[in-house]
Amino acid sequence: MNLLKELCSIHAPSGSEWPITEFILSYVKKYHKNWKVKPKVFSGDGFQDSIVLVFGKPTTAVFAHIDSIGFTVRYGKQLVKIGGPRLKKGYKLVGADSKGEIECTLQVGKNDVITYKYKREIDRGTTLTFKPDWRETKDYIQCCYMDNRLGVYNALKLAETLENGIICFSCWEEHGGGSAEMLGKFIYEKFGVKQALISDITWVTDGIKHGKGVAISIRDSGIPRRKFVNRIIEIAQKSKIPFQLEIESAGGSDGIALQRTPFPFDWCFIGAPEENVHTPDEKVHKKDIEAMLTMYQYLMKKL
């Protein structure tokens, strides 16, 4: 799990994804020689901080967003949320400005006015994220930013054996999206790919439990085309890999972004469930991580 631990430690909230972009590009360059197929890499100019890896003759894409939630420093020690972090007094936040590394404390006032406690005023525009605190037991892993560094981890592990397919590392998902639409246009027009799996993390709820397998979402705030989702479920049933069917009214992903494009994308959200969503204490069962990894490998061969 060292790769996942390192991914969770990278400071890359929405809009400031370049540190993890550079990490992924370096990782691909270092390890692709050990993969089954060497991918074509699309990044840089025209892709902003997003990355597309193309393997063989693709028919299906996997989308994994690389950004996280966090905070932007305003003025008067005020903070503005990036995405939807949970607010609790005392959370430790980290970042860096012109004067050096920062470790400060989140303060929550009346009407959820958020500020930071620190020995000095932090430069305006500085981004802050939860301080990583990796905890691992026999059954669980707990740290900030399992959402969505676990989705990125899944995609990088998938790359080791993927023969035909595309992996898209997208940006801004936690704060409104935008990157997935651009990547969708690119892979549809250049490769004719119009079906996607969303490698992201979902919630433990009354119907989705720890240790019962990866969640395959029938719907959340978005409704994918049921015919495609049914096909995914039929393939998953044959795999004998443990999975749970999820139905929610809230939550969203790059799948919704793809559905809003003018291109005929089918998509399905498939991810491990976590507890303590959008906090420093996101918790995932190791069995669900294993099921997520093996399910993606199986589906990408069958699709």
Task: For residue 104, list its beta bridge partners.
Answer: 93
Fold of 70-130: Elongation Factor Tu (Ef-tu); domain 3 (2.40.30)
* Number of other CB atoms surrounding residue 216 within 10 Å: 21
pLDDT tens digits along 144-165: 999 999 999 999 999 999 999 9
C-alpha atoms less than 13 angstroms from C-alpha of 90 in its C-beta half-sphere: 0
**Residue the block writes with tokens 């707990």:** 142
Fold of 2-68+135-302: Aminopeptidase (3.40.630)
Q: What is the DSSP string of 169-227?
A: EE--GGGT--HHHHHHHHHHHHH---EEEEE--EE--SSS-TTS-EEEEEESSS---HH
Q: pTM for the full model?
A: 0.97
Q: What are the residue ranges spanned by the domains of the chain? A: 2-68+135-302, 70-130
Task: For residue 195, list its beta bridge partners.
Answer: 266
On the question of a cis peptide bond just before residue 154, with omega within 30 degrees of 0, the verdict is: no
Per-residue pLDDT of the chain (303 residues; tens, 9 = 90+): 999 999 999 999 999 999 999 999 999 999 999 999 999 999 999 999 999 999 999 999 999 999 999 999 999 999 999 999 999 999 999 999 999 999 999 999 998 899 999 999 999 999 999 999 999 999 999 999 999 999 999 999 999 999 999 999 999 999 988 899 999 999 999 999 999 999 999 999 999 999 999 999 999 999 999 999 999 999 999 999 999 999 999 999 999 999 999 999 999 999 999 999 999 999 999 999 999 999 999 999 999
